[in-house]
């Protein structure tokens, strides 16, 4: 009887850890909310896309490039770390422009804060918004 309870307890613990791991994996996904999309005036080949991008703790943004330009503004900052380097802050108010084809990101969010970034892209129509960096 005691053995049955031990096996049942082990099964419950394994199931709970599986649920926790699944929850943690879901929490690590980058969330992209499209806020708007429009063609570039007088240019049938490009479009403007505006997104709110949220990087929760533990999320990894792989190195990537865009088929066009990206301008960004950090709404809520946090700490990120590139493998092999010291953690660094992405403070609220940080802003920048990533030119076409510039490989960027490649970091993991560390700490307990979700980083929120407003990104505006001017990209080629019909191509993926981002692709893995070569």
Of the candidates 130, 123, 127, 106, the one whose C-alpha atom is nearest the C-alpha of residue 55 is 106
- Asked if residue 106 lies in contact with residue 61, where contact means CB atoms within 8 angstroms, the answer is yes
Q: Right CATH number for 30-132 from 1.20.1250.20, 2.60.120.260, 2.60.120.10, 2.30.30.140?
A: 2.60.120.10
Taking only the tens of pLDDT, the chain with its 134 residues reads 444 433 434 443 444 444 444 444 444 899 999 999 999 999 999 999 999 999 999 999 999 999 999 999 999 999 999 999 999 999 999 999 999 999 999 999 998 999 999 999 999 999 999 999 98
- Asked if residue 74 lies in contact with residue 134, where contact means CB atoms within 8 angstroms, the answer is no
Q: Which residues contact 77 (CB under 8 A, 6 or more apart)?
A: 89, 90, 91, 92, 93, 94, 113, 115
Residue ranges in the chain assigned as alpha helix (H): 2-27
At 88-127, the pLDDT tens digits run 999 999 999 999 999 999 999 998 999 999 999 999 999 9
Each domain of the chain, given as residue ranges in start order, spans 30-132
Q: What is the pTM for the complete model shown? A: 0.78
């Amino acid at each position: 009887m005691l053995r049955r309870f031990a096996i049942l307890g082990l099964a419950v613990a394994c199931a709970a850890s599986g649920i926790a791991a699944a929850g943690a994996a879901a929490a690590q996904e980058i969330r992209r909310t499209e806020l708007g999309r429009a063609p570039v005036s007088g240019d049938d080949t490009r479009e403007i896309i505006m997104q709110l991008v949220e990087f929760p703790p533990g999320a990894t943004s792989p190195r990537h490039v865009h088929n066009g330009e990206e301008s960004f503004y950090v709404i809520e900052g946090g700490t990120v770390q590139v493998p092999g380097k010291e953690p660094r802050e992405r403070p609220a108010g940080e802003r920048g422009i990533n030119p076409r084809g510039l490989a960027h990101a490649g970091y993991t969010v560390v700490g307990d804060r979700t980083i929120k970034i407003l990104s505006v892209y001017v990209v080629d129509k019909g191509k993926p918004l981002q692709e893995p960096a070569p």
